Amino acid sequence: MFRNKKRQQQASKNKDPKTIGDVLDHLGKSRDFVHFQHGNTHFSCWISYFRTLIDIDYVHRDVFPFLYSDSIRNMADIKDQLPLEKLIQTKDIHEIQSKLLEGYIIIQKDERSPECLIVPSVKIQGRQIEKSEVETSIIGPKETFVESIDTNINLIRKRIPVPQLTLKEIRVGKLSRTQVGIIYIDGIASEENVNTVLQRIQSLEVASLIDATMLALMITDNNWTIFPQFTDTERPDRVSGAVYEGKIAVLVDGSPNALILPSTIVEFFAAFDDYFLPWNISSAYRLLRLFAVALSALSSSLYVALLTYHYQLLPKDLLGSLISSRSSVPFDPVMEVLILEVMIELLREAGARLPTKVGQTIGIVGGIVIGTATVQAGLSSNILLIIIAMSALAAFITPNYRMATTIRFIRFPFIISAQMFGLLGIGMCFTYFVTHLIRLTSLGRPYIEPIFPFRASDLKDAFIRLPFQLQNSRPMFLRPGDPARMNTTRTSQEKGKKSPDIDE
């Protein structure tokens, strides 16, 4: 242990550059590092940059012409005359090194002089804003986040044009120094929540950070849970809605996902499209989704329990067809279920990993051909095939992908406990999961909030969504700085109007 520590110290000592010369020598080993002297009659300087990181057109067009002009006599002149807003003059070696690696240009008087001028010239290259593919929307906005944090912030900021919208920046990752942006509306978001998020992200000890979902796993309240504790979304409209509500959004450079914190479990089953439909229809769809979750988690285990222990529960007429369909199957119900479940999991995983075009074919081949063949070969019964297919379908009704995988996963403990104790086993497994959910927190806030602790006012936008005019307060769950969404005196005045009688 101690030796390890010593070794680490030595390693960091070796790597730590001491002078600007060390930095340039070290970087000079890369082929894309450009380091040259520019000189004319009355002024000369050294310029260094990574040609793969900087916007070369921009530099040639807007930076170099000024450097080569006659009016430049010394370093101070450059600072005065370059028409750029963010010129930094520094001797800090670490800053110079990190800026070089981000795509800035360094200008020095002499090759070894510690005084450097840092000129921004970052090339932003990434894909265009595209239509949402993961969280599709039929009538809502279709923009999605891209991999560049600046574009993503722009997408949010243009939806929230208020001065209180605050952006905090933290660098995460010992090596990667990834830019992480924390966005919230000052005065609406709970200060306690903001501080928790900042503190959790600042105290991270990691080497690198690639994606926002990785960050979500790193700052989660409970490392052992299979339930996602923070919503991840690729839709700026959803993020803006949440920020208006008093939540905090976290963006990571290089990630097309934003995190929304804190979250309750019901939010994972709410699609943002629910807000674009009349409240009664969207409430019905939310209930349908909950039913789908229950169906998906429980149907195969109920099959095992009923057929293994409690056949009394089945109607007599159904029993006949069940027996005839199972008569050619040589396995126990549980084996039959596990075979089919694993098969479906294989199909799902193959569909996700294979290239798009092959994936579709596999889906059709797997779904239809293998399904029918399994029944004909006597590996499983027809009825089970229907149940399993339905439950697989139901699992993907969940709008959030991470929650959908969780829902797909929790059926396995249920199947095993159903085999052990029948309905009682299902009951106990259910109890275990419920206890787990009660104990979970998201950013220190209870995870199944509108249910426990029971808050009737937050139920307005949970299992059902009531009309917008009734949703006049922000969720109590978030402990918002300003709980009222609208001017309550005015809304009550409008309510005070008498409803007209017939034909008035």
Partner 1 sequence: MALNKINETHQLGPMSSFFLIQVTQIGIGFFSFQQPLSRFSAQDAWVACLIGGLSSLGVMWLILRLLENEHKYGRADLFSIHTRIFGKWIGGVLNLATIIFFMLYAAIYLRSYIEILQVWIFPQLSILVFTALFCLLIAYIVLGGMRTIGGIFLLSFVYMIPLYAETVFAVPGAHFSNLLPLFDHGPKSLLLSVFYSIHIYLGSEMILFYYPFIKHPEQAKKWCYFALLDTLFIYLMIMILGTAYFSQGEMKLTIWPTVTFWKSITFPLFEHVDMINIVYMIWILLPSMALSAWIVSRGIKLTFPVIRQKYALIFVLAVFIVVAEIVYNGELVATANALFSKLGFCFNYIYIPLLLLCQWIVKKVKGEPA
Of 314, 346, 352, 377, the one binding partner 1 by CB under 8 A: 314
| Rounded Cα gap, residues 405 and 239, in angstroms | 22
Residue with token string 């406990």: 417
Window 284-313: contact mask with partner 1 (x via CB under 8 A) = -------------------------xx-xx
CA distance from start to end of the chain: 86
- The residue (of 352 and 438) whose beta carbon lies closer to partner 1 is 438
The footprint of partner 1 on residues 110-149 (CB under 8 A) is: none
Instruction: Kindly tell me which residue out of 161, 315, 330, 496 binds partner 1, with binding defined by CB under 8 A.
Output: 315
Total number of residues that touch partner 1 (CB under 8 A): 25
Q: Which is nearer to partner 1, 34 or 420 (CB)?
A: 420
Residues 375-434 that bind partner 1 (CB under 8 A): 421-424, 426-428, 431-432, 434
Report how far residue 374's alpha carbon sits from residue 360's, in angstroms, rounded to the nearest whole number.
20
Q: In the complex, what is the shortest distance from the CB of residue 412 to partner 1, in angstroms, rounded to a whole number?
A: 17
Closest CA to 145 of 236, 272, 247: 236
- Contact set for partner 1, span 328-347 (CB under 8 A): none
Q: Is 439 in the site for partner 1 (CB under 8 A)?
A: yes
Q: Identify which of residues 94 and 439 has a Cβ nearer to partner 1 in the complex.
A: 439
Q: Please write down the HEC assignment for all residues of 164-204.
A: CEEEEEEEECCCCCEEEEEEEECCCCCHHHHHHHHHHHHCC
CA torsion, ordered 390, 391, 397, 398, to nearest 10 deg: 180
**Quick check: 181 and 251 in contact, CB under 8 A?**
yes
For partner 1, the binding residue among 265, 451, 462, 478 (CB under 8 A) is 451
Kind and range of the H or E element at 401? helix 401-409
Q: Quick one: DSSP state of residue 448? A: T
Among 44, 361, 435, 493, binds partner 1 (CB under 8 A): 435
Query: Are the CB atoms for 44 and 57 separated by under 8 Å?
Result: no
Select from 196-204, 216-224, 367-375, 452-460 the region that touches partner 1 (CB under 8 A): 452-460
Which of 207, 454, 496, 502 binds partner 1 (CB under 8 A)? It is: 454
Interface with partner 1 (CB under 8 A): 309-310, 312-315, 421-424, 426-428, 431-432, 434-436, 438-439, 448, 451-454
